[in-house]
């Protein structure tokens, strides 16, 4: 059953104490990056209600959210949840935790998706896919009513591509031609395109969909993101790219001084 999400709190800041959120003074504790991720994930799960169809994200931050959802189901605090996983890895995790699963064919409208991101800019545009699941993530998260992104403060950037790779999923056929075309497309930004590999370069990384990923590294800001998106998607060998533009409705950022909630 699809039901509306609760309204999101506006510009909210919460301090962190012993791994929990508290509206008190900043915590003197120094938290690890994984602890910050867990705090952000748990805060996002506060918005989950019984009866929701949920997009279950992929990655080290989203994993904490999936674990938390399962805990609340087992405690009876959540009921009638249906999860739609964004990767084979998340599917395996959810099955092992007993979360009921489905897909977009059966549930074409998703109430809420919770996922991490590799980068978040000031307009809440994202880079995702450094873990390799960008296509399924984008399919599910573009079908949801609300999309909560959970990150630690290291993911905040001045512009898309500032901290590392912007992934592009491509078909294996003539992948080098597609890679070279992508690099030339962004020559003005000092782009270097590299095919993603596994095991220290011994074999090509293959996505859940049987495709390859070309990672684009930029020396400069690529400019208008919608123009860049359209140019990439017009290339015949491209399946999808890792820019998630105007999709996030809320970003929850965990930092050493607390939680910040940014709304679209």
* Integer CA distances (angstroms), 249 to 7, 73, 79, 218, in order: 11, 25, 24, 26
251 closest CA partner among 122, 140, 128, 137: 122
Give the dihedral sign, CA 51/138/59/124: negative
Question: What are the CA-CA distances from residue 182 to residues 119, 169, 186, 251 (Å)?
Answer: 20, 11, 7, 29
In angstroms, the CA 133 to CA 87 distance is 6
CB 41 within 8 A of CB 15: no
Give φ, ψ of 77 to 5 degrees: -80, -20
- Quote the tokens at residue 236: 């015949």
- Largest distance between two CA atoms of the chain: 57
In a 13 Å sphere around the CA of 264, the CA atoms on its Cβ side amount to: 16
Task: Say which of 17, 119, 137, 219 is annotated catalytic.
Answer: 137
Active site residue 119: no
- The catalytic site residues sit at 137
């Amino acid at each position: 059953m699809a039901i509306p999400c609760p309204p999101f709190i506006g510009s909210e800041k919460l301090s962190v104490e012993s791994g929990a959120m508290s509206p008190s003074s900043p915590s003197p504790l120094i938290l690890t990056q994984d602890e910050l991720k867990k705090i952000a994930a748990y805060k996002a799960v506060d918005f989950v209600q019984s009866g929701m169809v949920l997009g279950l994200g992929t990655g080290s931050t989203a994993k904490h959210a999936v674990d938390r959802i399962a805990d609340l189901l087992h405690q009876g605090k959540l009921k009638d949840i249906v999860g739609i996983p964004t990767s084979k890895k998340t599917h395996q995790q959810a099955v092992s935790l007993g979360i009921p699963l489905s897909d977009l064919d059966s549930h074409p409208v998703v109430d809420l998706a919770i996922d991490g991101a590799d980068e978040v800019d000031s307009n809440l545009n994202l880079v995702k896919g450094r873990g390799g699941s960008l296509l399924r993530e984008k399919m599910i998260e573009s079908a949801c009513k609300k999309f909560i992104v959970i990150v630690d403060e290291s993911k905040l950037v001045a512009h898309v591509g500032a901290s590392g790779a912007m992934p592009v999923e491509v078909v294996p056929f003539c992948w080098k031609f597609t890679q070279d075309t992508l690099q030339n497309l962004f020559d003005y930004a000092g782009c270097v395109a590299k095919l993603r590999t596994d095991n220290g370069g011994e074999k090509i990384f293959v996505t859940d969909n049987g495709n390859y990923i070309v990672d684009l590294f930029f020396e400069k800001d690529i400019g208008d993101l919608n123009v860049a998106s359209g140019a990439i998607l017009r290339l015949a060998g491209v399946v999808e790219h890792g820019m998630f533009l105007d999709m996030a409705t809320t970003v929850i950022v965990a930092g050493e001084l607390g939680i910040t909630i940014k709304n679209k």
